[in-house]
Chain A
Amino acid sequence: MEKYALIITEKPEAARRIAQALDKEGKPEEVKEKEVPYFHVLRDKRLVVVPALGHLYTVIHERGKRNYYPVFSFKWVPRYLAERGSKNIRAWIEVISELAVGAEEFINACDYDLEGSLIGYSILKYACKGKENIAKRMKFSTLMKSELEKAYDELLPHLDFGLIEAGKTRHEVDWLYGVNLSRALTLAAKRWSGRYATLSTGRVQGPTLKFLVEREKAIQCFVPTPYWSIKAEAEIKGSIYEAGYEREKIERKAEADAVLRACEGKTAEIKKIEMKKFRQMPPFPFDVGSLQAEAYRLFGYTPRGTLNIAERLYLEALISYPRTSSQKLPPVINYKAILTALSKDRNYKDLALGLLKKTELKPLEGKKTDPAHPAVYPTGNLPERALSEPERKIFDLVVRRFMAVFGDPAVKQSMRVSIQVNGHLFYLRGRQVLEAGWLRFYEPYAKTEEVLLPPIKEGETIRLKRVIREDKFTNPPPRYNPSSLVKKMEERGIGTKATRADIVETLYSRGYIAEKRIFVTSLGFDVAETLGKYCPTVVSVELTRDLEEKMEQIQNNEAKRVNVLVEAVDRLKPTLERFKTRETVIGEALSAAIKRARMEERIIGQCPDCGTGQLMILYSRKTGKRFIGCTNYFKGKCKTSFPLPQRGTVKPARRSCRACEWPLLDVRMKGRRPWALCFNPNCPLKEKKS
């Protein structure tokens, strides 16, 4: 049989696109073997394009037992040997291995980044039996036909070993930290209490949880202080305008009251009118961080959610590769062609044609760069199917941002009118957009609140309809949300553009944090405090950032993987040894934390009968059934109880019934939609139904 070139992609959809792009007719033959799809392509020669399912290989402990630490010896194995629920990976590896036998050339066409390079490398090394040194690399930032053809025609002569080494090191260091620390915590708790509960942490999770704990402490220890502000409602030409007092904060109530008395009912004079024109420059092109931040600000999408949507759009060749830290758009992407293509969509027609009339298309660019990819941009392709609402929103956001960066600066005017009343000054502020410039392209998303003032002159007198004193308090530091947390991680240099969003989701899934306005749970607090007390290096931002920098150096061939691994082990060893010597006291603290967390999960709220006990989900030893009981029952003070559904899961909903204000429960049962249960037998909603 004729030999072929085997092209490996990261995901099935990417394989389909690459096969379609490279096939002469654009109609590659799809084959399925053991449910694994691959494509026969005819071009200058025969090609076979086969996808992976993300990482097919992972790191595990060399010896396999799970009940001890520290462990420093590891190996790379197929994922189905290491993870439950990955049995299907076996078939993928088998099919790729079989295809490798008939190949004379090998090409890695996974995404050009740390993960993609490592995915391709592992497959070439293990599944294809040692082909990593002869394989070539396809490099592209979009799945557009023209770019894929160019990437195939201009193959890099070998794999990107800098990225591969950096990727391997990152996985191995993360594994070393993750498995050792998680085992240390879990085993410490188990050895103390005799009960098993998974407690886990990681190299980046630890410091991230630490920022959250620091913020939580600052919020819990916050003492607000009072202050006052004064505003006046000025009547000018029949309309009311709000003017602020010259001092934004007045620290004494008596002083605020004195201003009020001096100004109420008095006539005011327009003392001065100051106008200032200024330019607002267009925004920079999106890098992954700013895309995630903007999607959170506008739509409330979490960073992980935004990345998932952006990846889907990338796989459908609608936008470029989203995991980029670049804020630059090089001319090679062909701005005119993209705008011309976008003008076919009626939503963008006028805007795109407007930009195409410009003599020069030059995007405003930020300083950040990425060695592999430009900033996120639309390819010019329009959706071939109806996009879901989140996909539509992100797509629209990317398109409008792309257009906005070519726009002219907006010209705005701010106006400040000084109003004098009995020796006191108030300021009336107006703002107006004189020339929209780039705002026109970014219209639904740009913040443009105009405050138009009427025509007034210096020396005019006006009536103050009301002078109001506002009682205010200083606010605690704001809670992080998933977007601001990812930004904080980026500022502190921990995690990578690809992993930060995942780390935040992991903290949620482990029960260390909750809610969109993040609060740290008591379990999260206890784990962070324990780590901080007994192995502070593990929650150290400096240590994590230092390792990140070393891994970046590997990427640039400025450091060696083995040295970084040795350094990581050298830092971890003494920490784990110290942990072991204090395992008992740590175990005791963690067991108490787990017990507390489990209790909190079952506490519903205050008992409405006795008023002092807590209602919680309990289990009858006699009948084995669950029910709601009052904690004062154990003191012989309250016998209040309520029945509960016996199937499915029941958890406190952390919100109240709108009819009777009793706390609600979230009930989930197989085969039914989850529902909120009010267990008040006299709830007006229940009475209404019956």
Chain B
Amino acid sequence: MEKYEVWKKALDISWKDYLREVAKNAYAGSLVKEVAEQLMKSEGE
């Protein structure tokens, strides 16, 4: 959540878009990508 605030300030980005960006980012850790994908899946449902 803390990092989402930084992204929001930087890009004025929605939560959903933030998850999408993080999930595909090359520098994001594998666990972070997994969590982002899970959240996208569960929120998509």
Could you list which residues of chain A lie within 8 angstroms of chain B, going by C-beta atoms?
219-227, 251-254, 473-476
Q: Nearest residue in A to B27 (C-beta to C-beta)?
A: A224
B41 contacts chain A at the CB level, 8 A cutoff: no
CB contacts (< 8 Å) of A221 on chain B: these are 29, 31-32
Residues of B within 8 Å of A223, CB to CB, are 3, 22, 28-29, 32
**Are A220 and B32 in contact, with the CB atoms below 8 A?**
yes
Is B10 touching A226 in the complex (CB atoms < 8 A)? yes
A473-B25, A475-B27 known; A251-B9 Cβ under 8 A = yes
Closest chain-A Cβ to B40's Cβ sits at a distance in Å of: 15
Q: Which of B7, B12, B29 contacts A225 (CB 8 A)?
A: B7
Per DSSP, chain A at the interface is: loop
Residues from chain A with Cβ under 8 Å of B11 in the complex: 226, 252-253
The verdict on B30 contacting chain A, using a C-beta distance below 8 Å, is: yes
Chain A hits for B39, CB < 8 A: none
Complex contacts, A226 vs chain B, CB 8 Å: 7, 10-11
Complex Cα distance, B7 from A20, in Å, reads 72
Spell out B's residues near A (CB within 8 Å): 3, 6-7, 9-12, 22, 25, 27-32
| Contact A476 to B7, CB < 8 A, known contacts A223-B22, A254-B12 | no
Shortest distance in angstroms between A479's beta carbon and chain B's nearest beta carbon? Answer: 12
Chain B binding surface SS class: helix
A-B CB contacts (within 8 Å), total count = 44
CB closest chain-B residue, reference A473 = B27
For residue A227, which residues in chain B have a CB less than 8 angstroms away from its CB? 10
Residue of B nearest to A218 (CB): B29
| Residue on A nearest B3 in the bound complex, by CB | A223
Closest chain A residue to B21, Cβ basis: A226
* Cα distance, A153 to B27, chains bound together (Å): 63
Within the assembled complex, what's the spacing in Å between the Cα atoms of A473 and B22?
11
The answer to whether A252 touches B31 (Cβ under 8 A) is no
In this complex, the member of B6, B9, B25, B29 whose beta carbon has the largest number of chain A beta carbons within 10 angstroms is B29
Chain B nearest Cβ from A522, distance in angstroms: 12
Interface-centre pick from B6, B11, B12, B22 (highest chain A CB count, 10 A): B6
Chain B nearest CB from A218 CB (Å) reads: 8
Within the assembled complex, what's the spacing in Å between the Cα atoms of A420 and B18? 36
Shortest Cβ gap from A83 to chain B (Å)? 40
Contacts of B27 in A (CB 8 A): 222, 224, 473-476
Interface-central residue, B3, B7, B10, B30, by most chain A CB under 10 Å:
B10
- Give the residues in chain B near A252, CB-CB below 8 Å: 9-11
Using Cβ atoms and an 8 Å threshold, which residues of chain B touch A253? 10-11
Contact between chains at B28 and A225 (CB < 8 Å) = no
Bound Cα distance from A163 to B9, whole angstroms = 61
**B-chain residues with CB within 8 Å of residue A220 when the two chains form the complex:** 29-32
